[in-house]
């Protein structure tokens, strides 16, 4: 929505007016879409901390106040009352489902749980055992689309016509691919999904059932996993979602776009942080440190306190507060006295009273406690970021749809300020290697430069 306010930018003698856009919650942005055509200038904002790339109706975050809402509903309310699949519906379609809509959606997700038999060959020598699960996930999410060519046309109208099926299919198959990747990497027989299990329970079944021993998770373990997925379901324009939107803006299909999202999520500063938290806690534990020395190293810039800090939250990440309680509960159920949880608590206490962390607004983020829960459930470390990807799938799908449904949407194509070499000549190899002295001025030497010809053509 444009509001009455006008932003004035003065450059030299001239002042230019730009409209101000206001969001539902009162946040304001200067619409600079005509900046370059009016002034010849562009803006620069490395890391995009001050740049709104779009207007979106999916998720609202107030980082200063620690608020997160899916389609207007606070995360705490969703965590208390909803499930991952219902939350996925809300995020993708914008409204809470009716009973009938919920049943149809769940059935569609359930029906799509199996992989095409031809895809099973990927788990039979298609990847080395050492392959990272995120690499497998990204490849196979893109590959899934090949089995449904009518959903992957790269023709916007046709891709959107099959959106409901593609969305349910991806939500379901991301979980199957993840579980089968774990089984393959550990030399375990692949376990097929069951029709009578819910989303998270089916995942745990595919992960941990053995042909000779059915795995029945404690209800609270299933709930904790479902909660982790729900809390990760969307987080507006984070790195992976922005990647999905950027890929989508080129007209690419949903499968290709979410596959790119997985790659962006893999990085340790984004989704990879949950696994880094456990590695950090294990390292601290192994050295006999109670966290004190590590905090000092972090303050000297020699280490990062993984699971701390966030681009948006300048107070507690509300998801971390919910997961802190859930972590205690899960550890009680599995009767695990995890020394890592004690170190985590101590790190949090120390960081919360230290001016280095206070001055920089560094609070625990969602990854700080999700890692502890995943470890207690028995999830191997290299699957942590995969869990994040399963959780984030509804968000990626919803954002793809928002981009794809926009009439006359623009391709994302930022500009840059070039800081490389000014125009210069191409120097032939024999001059670069010193075979002919560089001060030897022959006609050949004089005529070797493409730069010169650019100048010449510019003058012509």
Least gap, CB of 296 to ligand ACO (angstroms):
11
Interaction residues for ligand ACO, span 25-44 (CB under 6 A): none
Q: Rule CB under 6 A: is residue 365 a binding residue for ligand ACO?
A: yes
Least gap, CB of 342 to ligand ACO (angstroms):
20
Nearer to ligand ACO, 226 or 234 (CB): 234
Among candidate residues 384, 380, 382, 403, the one with its CA nearest the CA of residue 392:
384
Q: Rule CB under 6 A: is residue 298 a binding residue for ligand ACO?
A: yes
Nearer to ligand ACO, 117 or 302 (CB): 302
Least gap, CB of 278 to ligand ACO (angstroms):
12
How is residue 182 written in tokens?
């774990």
| Residues facing residue 20 across a β-bridge | 30
Mask for 46-65, x = binds ligand ACO (CB under 6 A): -x------------------
Q: In this structure, what are the phi and psi dihedrals at residue 86, rounded to the nearest 5 degrees?
A: -65, -40
| Residues facing residue 9 across a β-bridge | 16
Tell me the residue ranges of DSSP E strands in 233-386. none
| Residues facing residue 70 across a β-bridge | 59, 73
For residue 249, give Cα distances in angstroms to 50, 74, 233, 407.
21, 29, 21, 12
Q: Are 61 and 241 in contact (CB under 8 A)?
A: no
Q: Rule CB under 6 A: is residue 305 a binding residue for ligand ACO?
A: yes
Question: How many residues at the interface with ligand ACO, by CB under 6 A?
Answer: 18
How is residue 27 written in tokens?
């946040």
Q: Rule CB under 6 A: is residue 273 a binding residue for ligand ACO?
A: yes
Q: Rule CB under 6 A: is residue 92 a binding residue for ligand ACO?
A: no
Nearer to ligand ACO, 59 or 365 (CB): 365
Among candidate residues 13, 172, 24, 191, the one with its CA nearest the CA of residue 107:
172
In the set 205, 235, 310, 399, the catalytic residue is 310
From 104-112, 160-168, 309-317, 429-437, give the range in contact with ligand ACO by CB under 6 A: 309-317
Helix spans in 186-212 (H): 199-208
Nearer to ligand ACO, 124 or 302 (CB): 302
In the set 159, 226, 234, 367, the catalytic residue is 367
| Alpha carbons 95 and 86: distance in angstroms, whole number | 10
| 232 catalytic residue (yes or no) | no
362, 387, 389, 398: residue in contact with ligand ACO (rule CB under 6 A): 362
Q: Rule CB under 6 A: is residue 159 a binding residue for ligand ACO?
A: no
133, 307, 318, 391: residue in contact with ligand ACO (rule CB under 6 A): 307
Mask for 310-329, x = binds ligand ACO (CB under 6 A): xx------------------
| Alpha carbons 281 and 17: distance in angstroms, whole number | 52
Nearer to ligand ACO, 6 or 358 (CB): 358
Q: Rule CB under 6 A: is residue 141 a binding residue for ligand ACO?
A: no
Among candidate residues 230, 259, 255, the one with its CA nearest the CA of residue 243:
259
Q: Rule CB under 6 A: is residue 364 a binding residue for ligand ACO?
A: no
352, 360, 430, 446: residue in contact with ligand ACO (rule CB under 6 A): 360
Q: Rule CB under 6 A: is residue 281 a binding residue for ligand ACO?
A: no
For residue 228, give Cα distances in angstroms to 36, 304, 332, 368.
43, 24, 17, 12
| Alpha carbons 41 and 27: distance in angstroms, whole number | 25
Q: What is the number of the residue whose Cβ is closest to ligand ACO? A: 309
Among candidate residues 393, 318, 376, the one with its CA nearest the CA of residue 60:
318
86, 348, 367, 402: residue in contact with ligand ACO (rule CB under 6 A): 367
| Alpha carbons 362 and 345: distance in angstroms, whole number | 15
Q: Rule CB under 6 A: is residue 269 a binding residue for ligand ACO?
A: yes
Q: Rule CB under 6 A: is residue 191 a binding residue for ligand ACO?
A: no
| 310 catalytic residue (yes or no) | yes
Q: Are 394 and 234 in contact (CB under 8 A)?
A: yes
For residue 150, give Cα distances in angstroms to 168, 245, 453.
15, 21, 50
Q: Rule CB under 6 A: is residue 75 a binding residue for ligand ACO?
A: no
Catalog residues that contact ligand ACO under the rule CB under 6 A: 47, 269-270, 273, 298, 304-311, 360, 362, 365-367
Active site residues: 310, 367
């Amino acid at each position: 929505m444009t509001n009455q306010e006008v932003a004035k930018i003065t450059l030299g003698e001239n002042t230019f007016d730009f409209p101000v856009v206001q969001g539902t919650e009162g946040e304001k942005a200067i619409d600079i879409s005509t900046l370059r055509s009016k002034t010849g200038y562009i803006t620069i904002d490395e890391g995009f901390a001050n740049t709104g790339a779009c207007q979106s109706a999916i998720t609202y975050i107030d980082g200063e106040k620690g608020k997160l809402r899916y389609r207007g509903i606070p995360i705490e309310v969703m965590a208390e009352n909803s499930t991952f699949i219902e939350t996925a519906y809300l995020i993708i379609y914008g409204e809470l489902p009716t009973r009938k809509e919920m049943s149809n959606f769940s059935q569609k997700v359930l029906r799509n749980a199996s992989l095409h038999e031809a895809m099973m060959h990927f788990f039979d020598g298609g990847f080395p055992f050492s392959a990272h699960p995120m690499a497998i996930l990204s490849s196979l999410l893109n590959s899934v689309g090949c089995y449904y060519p009518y959903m992957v046309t790269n023709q916007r109208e046709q891709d959107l016509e099959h959106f409901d099926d593609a969305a349910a299919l991806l939500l379901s198959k991301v979980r199957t691919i993840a579980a089968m990747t774990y089984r393959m990497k550990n030399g375990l027989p692949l376990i097929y999904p069951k029709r009578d299990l819910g989303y998270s329970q089916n995942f745990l079944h595919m992960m941990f059932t053995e042909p000779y021993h059915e795995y029945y998770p404690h209800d609270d373990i299933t709930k904790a996993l479902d909660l982790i997925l729900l809390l990760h379901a969307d987080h507006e324009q984070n790195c992976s979602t922005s990647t999905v939107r950027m890929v989508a803006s080129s007209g690419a299909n949903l499968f290709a776009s979410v596959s790119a999202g997985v790659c962006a999520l893999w990085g340790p500063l984004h989704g990879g942080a949950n696994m880094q938290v456990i590695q950090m806690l294990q390292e601290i534990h192994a050295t006999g440190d109670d966290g004190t020395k590590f905090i000092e190293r972090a303050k000297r810039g020699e280490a990062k306190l993984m699971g701390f800090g966030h681009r948006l939250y300048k107070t507690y990440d509300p998801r971390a507060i919910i997961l802190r309680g859930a972590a205690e509960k899960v550890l009680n159920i599995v009767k695990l006295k995890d020394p890592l949880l004690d170190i985590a608590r101590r790190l949090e206490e120390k960081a919360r009273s230290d001016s280095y962390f206070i001055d920089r607004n560094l609070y625990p983020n969602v990854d700080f406690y999700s890692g502890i829960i995943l470890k207690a459930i028995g999830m191997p470390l290299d699957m942590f970021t995969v869990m994040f990807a399963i959780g984030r799938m509804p968000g990626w799908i919803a954002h793809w749809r928002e981009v794809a449904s926009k009439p006359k949407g623009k391709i994302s194509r930022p500009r840059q300020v070039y800081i490389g070499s000014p125009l210069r000549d191409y120097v032939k190899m024999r001059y670069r290697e010193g075979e002919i002295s560089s001060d030897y001025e022959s006609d050949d030497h004089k005529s070797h430069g493409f730069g010169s010809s650019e100048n010449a053509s510019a003058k012509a």
